Amino acid sequence: MACIELNDVTKRFGKVTAVDRLNLSIEQGECVAMLGPSGCGKTTTLRMVAGFEDLDDGEIRVGERIISSRKARFYLPPENRNFGMVFQAFAVWPHLSVFENVAFPLRIRKLPKAEVQARTEEALKHTNLWSVADGSPDDLSGGGKQRVALARALAIRPDVMLLDEPLSSLDPHFREEMRFEIKDLQRRFHHSILYVTHDQSEAMALSDRILVMKAGVVQQVGSPLEIYGAPANRFVFEFIGLSSFLKVGLRDGKMEVGGASYDPPSPPPSNLIAAGGAWLAARPNEIAFTSEGGAACTVARKACLGEVIDYRVRVGAVEVRVQKTRHDPGPAEGEACGLIFARPRWYPLED
C-alpha cells in the first residue's frame, strides 16, 4: 500500500511553473530522494507535502486520506499532518535546551508528562544526545544541531519524515557519518522518507528510489542503479556521475565523427538512425584506449588525480573525458590513438 501519493501535483509562482504535474507514490518504509539542480522544484514539492505551500493542481494523499487537494479545496495545515521534518539550516530553537527542543512537539500534543519524558529520552538516546540534553543547542556543532532536529522529528513517531537537504550545511567530514545515522534510524523505525538533495552521492547512498527533476518536470524515477546505469535522457546522464558526450552523425549503418566514419559500438535506436544523428554518451571510465581501430583521437592533457588518471582527449573538434585507474598506464600527452566505447548510450540530438 502506498504511504504517500502525489497525483498531478502542480505549483506555479506567477508565470513560472515550479512543479509540473508531478506523480509519485512512496511505499511504507521506503526512502525516496528528490534530486536536481537548485530551482528545479524539489524543495517546493517537499513543502507542498509538508503543507507550507498550496497546490495549484492535483492532490496529495497519505494512505486513503487526502491532505491537500486543489479540486476539493482542502489543505490540512502543517501542524495537523503528523510529519517529522528536518531543515537544511537545522532550525533548532536557541532559546530552548536540547531536551526542550525535542520535547516541544510532544508537549504541543499535550501528552502526559511521563510520556513526554520517556519519549524525549528515547529520541535523544537514539541520536546520541542524551549527555548534552540540558545544554543549549547553540553550543553544539552543525552535526550536533542536526541531530537535535532529527531527534525532534523522531520523537513524534511520524508517519512520514521529510528531509530538506539535511546534510548540506554540515562539514563534509560529518556528512558521511550523518548519512549512515539517518539510514540506520530509518531501518530501525521503518519510516517513509522523502528526501531532498542536490548531492547525487547522498541520494544514491540513502534512498531506495531516486526522482530526478529539472525545471519542475520529473525526468526519471528509479532505483539508484537504474538511474546511474540507464539514464532516461541526456540530462540525467550528465547530472548523475561523470559523463562524456560525442555528437555523431548516423548514416548507412556507420557513425561519423571528426570527418571519419566507424562501426557504431552498439546499434543505435532506429528513430535516431532515421534522424541521422545522435549523442553518444559514455562514462569516462567506460571508454578504453586502443592502438588499433576505434575512433581516432589525440591526447590533449593527462593529469594524475591519485587513484585515477584523467585524460582530455580530442576527437575531431571536441574534447572527451576519459578516466583510467593508475594501474593502467594509457597513452602519453600528445599521442594519437583510438577510443572504444564499452557501454554507450544513445540520446537524440535535441536532448
Partner 1 sequence: MTTVVPAQPRFGTAQILFGLSVAILVIVVAVPVLLIFFNAFWVNGAFNVIDVVRVLSQHETYQALLNSLILASGVTVTGTIVGTFFAWLVTRTDLPFKGTMKVLFLVPFMLPSFIGALAWKMLLSPRSGYINRMFMDVFGLDGPVFDIYTYGGIILVETMYLFPFVFIQVAGALERMDPTLEESARISGADLFTITRKITIPLVMPSILSGSLLIMLYSMAHFGTVAVLGIEVGIYNIPTLIYEKIHQSAGSFASIRTGTVLASVLVVTAAFIMWLQNKVLSRGRYQIIAGKSFRPTQLKLRGLRIPLLVFCIAYIGITIVLPTATIFMVGALKTYGLPFTVENMTLYNYKFILFDWQLTRDAIRNSVSLGFVAALITMFAGVIISYVIVKMKVRGKGILEFLGMLPFSVPGSVIALGVILAWSGKFGINIYNTVWIILVAYIARYMAFSLKANSAALEQVHDSLVEAARASGATMWQALKDIVVPLVRPGMLAAFFLIFLPALRELTVSVLLYGPTTRTIGVAIYTLNEDGETVYSAALAGIALIIIVFGESVIKRLFKVARRG
Piece of the chain touching partner 1 by CB under 8 A; list 55-63, 87-95, 207-215, 340-348: 87-95
Per CB under 8 A, does 104 bind partner 1? yes
Q: Given the complex with partner 1, which of 37 and 276 has the nearer CB atom?
A: 37
Per CB under 8 A, does 139 bind partner 1? no
- Output phi, psi for 201, to 5 deg: -70, -35
Per CB under 8 A, does 83 bind partner 1? yes
- Output phi, psi for 74, to 5 deg: -125, 130
Among residues 4, 85, 196, 212, the one that binds partner 1 under rule CB under 8 A: 85
- Output phi, psi for 40, to 5 deg: -85, -10
Q: Measuring CA to CA, which residue among 318, 331, 299 is closest to residue 259? A: 318
* Distant-in-sequence, close-in-space partners of 173: CB < 8 Å, separation ≥ 6: none
Among residues 108, 242, 260, 303, the one that binds partner 1 under rule CB under 8 A: 108
Angstrom distance (rounded) from CA 26 to CA 144: 29
Q: Which amino acid is at 57?
A: D
Q: Given the complex with partner 1, which of 161 and 295 has the nearer CB atom?
A: 161
Print the binding letters for residues 158-177 with partner 1: x by CB under 8 A, - otherwise.
Answer: ----x---------------
Segment (H or E) for 85: strand 83-86
In whole angstroms, how close is the CB of 90 to partner 1 at the nearest point?
Answer: 8
Among residues 156, 178, 257, 273, the one that binds partner 1 under rule CB under 8 A: 156
Piece of the chain touching partner 1 by CB under 8 A; list 80-88, 115-123, 246-254, 298-306: 80-88
Residue 292 DSSP class: S
In whole angstroms, how close is the CB of 108 to partner 1 at the nearest point?
Answer: 4
Per CB under 8 A, does 89 bind partner 1? yes
Beta-sheet strands, E only, within 78-208: 83-86, 160-164, 192-197
Angstrom distance (rounded) from CA 339 to CA 182: 42
Per CB under 8 A, does 115 bind partner 1? no
Residue 139: CB atoms within 10 A of its CB come to 11
Piece of the chain touching partner 1 by CB under 8 A; list 24-32, 45-53, 232-240, 280-288: 45-53
Per CB under 8 A, does 36 bind partner 1? no
DSSP-assigned letters across all residues of 232-253: SSHHHHHHSS--EEEEEEEETT
In whole angstroms, how close is the CB of 119 to partner 1 at the nearest point?
Answer: 13
* Distant-in-sequence, close-in-space partners of 110: CB < 8 Å, separation ≥ 6: none
In whole angstroms, how close is the CB of 91 to partner 1 at the nearest point?
Answer: 4
Q: Which parts of this chain interact with partner 1 (CB under 8 A)? A: 47, 50-52, 77-85, 87-89, 91-95, 104-105, 108-109, 138, 149, 152, 156, 162
